[in-house]
Structure 1
Amino acid sequence: MRVLLLLALILLGFGSGPLAAAGTYELLFRSTALTGLKAASDVGEAGQGTLLYDRVITGADAGQAAGSFSVALKVKPDDRATMTLHQGTRSRGLGTYPASVGNPLIMYFLESVLADIAAQSGGSPFYMRNRIKEALLRDAEIVPLTVRYRNRDVAAREVTIRPFLKDKARERMGRFSELALTVTVSEDIPGWYYSLVATVPAVSGGKEAGYSNAITFKTAGEDR
């Protein structure tokens, strides 16, 4: 968890990056993502501040990380946000964060993807983390689209970055150089994030499936 907190501080420290990347940064790290959500109590009350996400990791290379999970995020009355990972009857805490700096889900997503890709490729997680940081300061692919929420279409934006697209070590990374990080955000989705997806294609001509790590908004407390 210390690593996750460190990554959060590093990434959030990019607020002074080039103006060309300001739009991308603001979309991915919305500081007001949790603003206005009714806090959940510690005695079982859900409130709008309880957000649930589905998380699915697939691919032949995913190994022990593969599977279906859920992530619960709760906004507390004292400006704290807690996250818990659930799989079947098992659960574990993912940390406590200041709600005023945004939704920590994206930090958890990036760190888990980084750990998976580093383990699968045998590459340095420090090198990969730096490439992701640099990609956040470059232009991204931003596409307007609509998503379904409460049985209606709502406006959203899909932000995609490819951190190793122009990397000098691209050839040595093989198919992992094709990593794409796609985040779909919307003002109408509680917590800001509709989905966060990392993909790596399968080996060309191979039989093994590519790697995918997807977190998708499921419901807010008020939607139950």
Structure 2
Amino acid sequence: MKRLALVLALCLSGAASAGPLSDLIMAEGVFADARAGAVLQYSLSRNGPGDAAPAQSVLRLLVMEDNGTKFLLLDQESGGTRSEIARFPAASANPLLLYFLENIVRDMSQATGGNPFYIRNRIRAALIAAEAAPGSDGRITVTLEPFAADPNRDRLGAFAGLQLQLSFAPEEPGRLLSLKADTRAGPGGYSEEMILTGGE
């Protein structure tokens, strides 16, 4: 999927100026040592404008091996139909995170007419600027508002208040526990949520 490859390049292009959060969740090769056959499974629910994903579906990230070469396969199941989204090198950043972020970029761009490169860069800047400290439950839960101080807020509609929340255990940053996006704008708003439901 070219779209995912593009967001991967954009997210990693700021590696030299990465921050505590992006160092953890955008790290390359987070699944490089996972055994072939390992699977992470997430529920995906979304509501609002755009068509990046079905309203309800299941995402799976599988660690595969072909002729001695390990790779990551991201697929999606909805309405009893399973389809492959993309394949990634084992040394890539987390495909589930990239898919989640790119859904937001696509839907926001469609809804607002905004430039997807601009939207990606604002989200990437928020990730780089964020701290990553464990809470009382031992998890790292980070809430971002990429467009809170954006000079173009008045053009973004409900997405001006977009809030992203990521949660994971610091010892397993690749095993994201939840990923949430919400414009907090009531019935006319947008939300997307991925929750870890199983995996090895």
Residue 7 of structure 1 and its aligned partner are, at CA, apart by 0.9
**Residue among 57, 63, 77 paired with 2:46:** 57
* Aligned residue number for residue 136 of structure 1: 127
**1:49-81 CA deviation, whole Å, 9 max, x = no partner?**
11111100024x467855110011111132200
* Aligned residue number for residue 125 of structure 1: 116
2:151 and 2:134 map into 1 onto residues whose CA distance is: 27
**1:126-174 CA deviation, whole Å, 9 max, x = no partner?**
221221222233235756253xxxxxxxx31012221111111112223
Instruction: Between 30-39 and 71-80, report the one with greater CA deviation.
Output: 30-39
1:182 and 1:174 map into 2 onto residues whose CA distance is: 20
Residue 121 of structure 1 and its aligned partner are, at CA, apart by 2.2
The normalised TM-score by structure 2 is 0.86
Count of aligned residue pairs for this structure pair: 197
1:214 and 2:197 correspond: no
Give the residue type in structure 2 aligned to 1:53. Answer: Y
* Aligned residue number for residue 23 of structure 2: 26
1:139 and 1:4 map into 2 onto residues whose CA distance is: 23
1:119 and 1:57 map into 2 onto residues whose CA distance is: 15
2:171 and 2:133 map into 1 onto residues whose CA distance is: 18
8 Å contact kept, 1:140–1:161:
no
8 Å contact kept, 2:54–2:78:
no
1:50 and 1:10 map into 2 onto residues whose CA distance is: 26
* Aligned residue number for residue 13 of structure 1: 13
Over the matched positions of the two proteins, sequence identity in percent amounts to 28
**1:99-150 CA deviation, whole Å, 9 max, x = no partner?**
223321111111011111111223222221221222233235756253xxxx
1:64 and 1:100 map into 2 onto residues whose CA distance is: 25
* Aligned residue number for residue 67 of structure 1: 55
Runs of 4+ in 1 over 6 A off after TM superposition: none
2:120 and 2:52 map into 1 onto residues whose CA distance is: 22
Residue 200 to residue 141, structure 1, CA distance change in 2 (3 Å):
farther
1:64 and 1:33 map into 2 onto residues whose CA distance is: 25
Residue 194 of structure 1 and its aligned partner are, at CA, apart by 0.6
Residue 35 to residue 156, structure 1, CA distance change in 2 (3 Å):
farther
Residue 4 to residue 188, structure 1, CA distance change in 2 (3 Å):
same
* Aligned residue number for residue 80 of structure 1: 71
User: Larger C-alpha radius of gyration, 1 or 2?
Assistant: 1
1:159 and 1:165 map into 2 onto residues whose CA distance is: 15
Consecutive unaligned residues in structure 1, runs of 5 or more? 41-48, 147-154
The normalised TM-score by structure 1 is 0.78
Consecutive unaligned residues in structure 2, runs of 5 or more? none
8 Å contact kept, 2:4–2:98:
yes
8 Å contact kept, 2:31–2:90:
yes
For the residue of structure 2 that corresponds to 1:101, the secondary structure is coil
Question: Once superposed, what is the RMSD of the aligned Cα atoms?
Answer: 2.4
1:173 and 2:152 correspond: no
For the residue of structure 1 that corresponds to 2:28, the secondary structure is coil
For the residue of structure 2 that corresponds to 1:109, the secondary structure is helix
